């Protein structure tokens, strides 16, 4: 898989690390990565407990997830360029410290508004921190050790996907130190303190040659367009769908157009835009953007809404919910290595097979939740395991396959944008599918349905949308190259 420019090492790298020092450095940056990846999933299982304790409404629950992922996406490209310009070690430690403080802020949050705000700060800090992990690995390790380090990162990604729902359930259920759901955020603090102490002593400094220009205007316009799109979708029900909510939604279009115009202006001036508009004329890239939005949009809200169905509808505990979701994570671990290994030979076929496998898994899950009775563990675990198998075939290799159809000179910029779009897709999925779920839930309850059938009906509604998204993504994958670029 080709790595974006802002995730690569610069010229004049430091002396390659080896021995104990290499192990210490890798442990520190992977611990921070594990922490950030964990926070992308751990909140799903704890969301019902958070909502009950803070009296959070439906929109606040959605913002806890969408605000975080959107902020990570907003920070990735700018974070990578800050590391290139001012030093990856420096920016990594800054992002890690900010993530730790934001985690403590989440743990102390007195209300849902404060928690959402701290989640957004967490996401921005993660967007600063994560690009430096790849940059440090590529700048500070020899090729053989670099491959092993990147493999270790992949393993950490898998472990975080498994640990997130399960650890969230355990922490909420055990009420550690009487903290309840707040423990899912406080657990970050000791991990971050250790990583900061080790990183300050052992991390080497590296940066790219010259000074990368920051497109702060472009980043601001993109963020404003995203907020104008998501805000009325997630708040509309609480506002009562007023006309001015639709006006805010409509404003996202001219702001997005202004963003593209600004990017064209920077390109003409020879500056460094976030997105070179010429890339949109590359079939593989345009197709990859559409696939990413559909694919990750379908996944974005799934575990949150499944958790609400299980805990508020079926009466599962947080720990039971984590155990139900666990087979999904295990399935993704089983196939993720296969997807990465064979992407350079069967990339598009694997992606398409993975998306269709996910669609089939959602059909099977629809049959389970659609009858209005409390489902047995294995009737849920089996389709979720199948869905995990599909995810592992698709998610780790998607960007690599897309970049195989992008000119080599543009691969870095294209990879950065695609990575950001996956986060935007996640946030958009939380907004759109959340509206579908809560609207159907209210309609079912108003129609006299009991609690469990009403939640089952709401989950069934979003499963139908997800099936459509996965099938649509599979169809669009024929715009992509047949295989990923060979590994370096």
Whether 290 and 249 map to the same domain: the answer is: no
Q: Which long-range contacts (CB under 8 A, 24 or more apart) does 342-345 make?
A: 343/1, 343/397, 343/400, 343/401, 343/483, 343/484, 344/483, 344/484, 344/485, 344/486, 344/487, 345/483
Whether 163 and 297 map to the same domain: the answer is: no
Of 225, 242, 271, the domain-final residue? 271
Whether 282 and 386 map to the same domain: the answer is: yes
What confidence score (pLDDT) does residue 485 get? Answer: 65
Whether 154 and 295 map to the same domain: the answer is: no
pLDDT tens readout for residues 339-387: 777 878 888 999 999 999 999 999 999 999 987 788 999 999 999 999 9
User: Could you report how far apart the first and last alpha carbons of the chain are, in Å?
Assistant: 8
Counting the structural domains of the chain, the total is 3
Whether 173 and 53 map to the same domain: the answer is: yes
pLDDT tens readout for residues 223-276: 899 999 999 998 988 888 899 999 999 999 999 999 999 999 998 888 888 888
Beta strands in 117-194 (DSSP E): none
Find the CATH number of the domain harbouring 208. 1.20.1250.20
Nearest to 328 by CA among 396, 371, 273, 392: 392
> Looking at the predicted structure, is the pLDDT value of residue 13 above 60?
no
pLDDT tens readout for residues 61-90: 999 999 999 999 888 888 888 888 888 899
Least confident residue range of 202-206, 325-329, 435-439? 202-206
Judged by DSSP in three states, 194 sits in: helix
Of 212, 229, 252, the domain-final residue? 212
Residues in the chain: 488
Whether 32 and 152 map to the same domain: the answer is: yes
Please list the alpha-helical segments (H only) found in 370-476: 377-394, 398-403, 411-446, 451-476
Structure tokens at 129: 């921190």
Whether 198 and 112 map to the same domain: the answer is: yes
CA distance 58 to 114: 15
Whether 182 and 293 map to the same domain: the answer is: no
Whether 99 and 230 map to the same domain: the answer is: no
Whether 433 and 382 map to the same domain: the answer is: yes
Of 191, 212, 233, the domain-final residue? 212
Q: pTM of the predicted model, to two decimals?
A: 0.87
- φ/ψ bin of 270: left (φ > 0), alpha (ψ from -120 to 50), beta (otherwise): left
Owning domain of residue 247: 216-271
Count of CA atoms in the C-beta half-sphere (13 A) of 110: 0
CA distance 117 to 180: 20
Residues 6+ apart with CB under 8 A from 378: none
Nearest to 51 by CA among 307, 372, 316: 307
Whether 222 and 292 map to the same domain: the answer is: no
The arithmetic mean of pLDDT across residues 155-165, rounded, is 75
């Amino acid at each position: 898989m080709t790595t974006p420019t802002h995730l690569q090492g610069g010229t004049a790298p430091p002396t390659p690390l080896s021995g104990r020092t290499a192990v210490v450095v890798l442990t520190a940056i992977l611990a921070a990565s594990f922490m950030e990846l964990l926070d992308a999933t751990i909140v799903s299982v704890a969301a019902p407990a958070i909502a009950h304790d803070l009296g959070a409404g439906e929109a606040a629950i959605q913002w806890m997830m969408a605000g975080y992922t959107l902020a990570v996406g907003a920070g990735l490209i700018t974070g990578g360029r800050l590391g290139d310009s001012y030093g990856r070690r420096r920016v990594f430690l800054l992002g890690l410290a900010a993530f730790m403080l934001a985690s403590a802020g989440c743990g102390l949050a007195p209300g849902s508004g404060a928690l959402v705000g701290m989640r957004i700060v967490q996401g921005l800090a993660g967007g600063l921190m994560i690009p430096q992990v790849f940059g440090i690995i590529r700048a500070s390790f020899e090729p053989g050790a670099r491959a092993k380090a990147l493999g270790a990162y992949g393993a950490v990604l898998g472990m975080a996907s498994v640990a997130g729902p399960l650890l969230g359930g355990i922490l909420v259920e055990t009420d550690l130190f009487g903290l309840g759901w707040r423990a899912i955020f406080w657990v970050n603090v000791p991990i971050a303190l250790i990583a900061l102490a080790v990183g300050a002593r052992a991390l080497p400094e590296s940066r790219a040659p010259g000074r990368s220009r920051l497109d702060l205007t472009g980043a601001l316009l993109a963020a404003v367009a995203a907020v104008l799109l998501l805000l009325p979708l997630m708040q509309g029900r609480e506002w009562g769908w007023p006309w001015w909510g639709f006006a805010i939604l409509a404003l996202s279009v001219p702001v997005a157009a202004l963003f593209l115009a600004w990017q064209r202006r920077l390109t003409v001036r020879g500056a460094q835009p976030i997105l070179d508009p010429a890339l949109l004329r590359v079939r593989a890239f345009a197709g990859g953007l559409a696939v990413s939005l559909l694919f990750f949009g379908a996944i974005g809200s799934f575990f949150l809404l499944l958790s609400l169905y299980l805990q508020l509808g079926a009466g599962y505990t947080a720990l039971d919910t984590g155990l139900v979701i666990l087979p999904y994570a295990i399935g993704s671990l089983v196939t993720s290595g296969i997807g990465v290994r064979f992407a350079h030979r069967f990339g598009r076929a694997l992606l398409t097979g993975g998306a269709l496998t996910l669609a089939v898994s959602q059909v099977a899950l629809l049959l389970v939740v659609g009858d209005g009775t409390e489902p047995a563990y294995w009737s849920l675990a089996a389709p979720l395991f199948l869905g995990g198998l599909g995810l592992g075939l698709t998610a780790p290799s998607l960007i690599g396959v897309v970049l195989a159809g992008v000119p080599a000179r543009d691969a870095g910029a294209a990879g950065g944008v695609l990575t950001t779009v996956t986060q935007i897709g996640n946030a958009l999925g939380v907004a759109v599918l959340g509206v579908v779920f809560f609207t159907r839930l209210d309609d079912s309850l108003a129609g006299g349905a009991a609690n469990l059938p009403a939640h089952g009906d709401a989950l069934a509604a979003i499963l139908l949308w997800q099936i459509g998204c996965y099938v649509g993504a599979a169809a669009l994958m024929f715009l992509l190259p047949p295989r990923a670029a060979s590994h370096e």
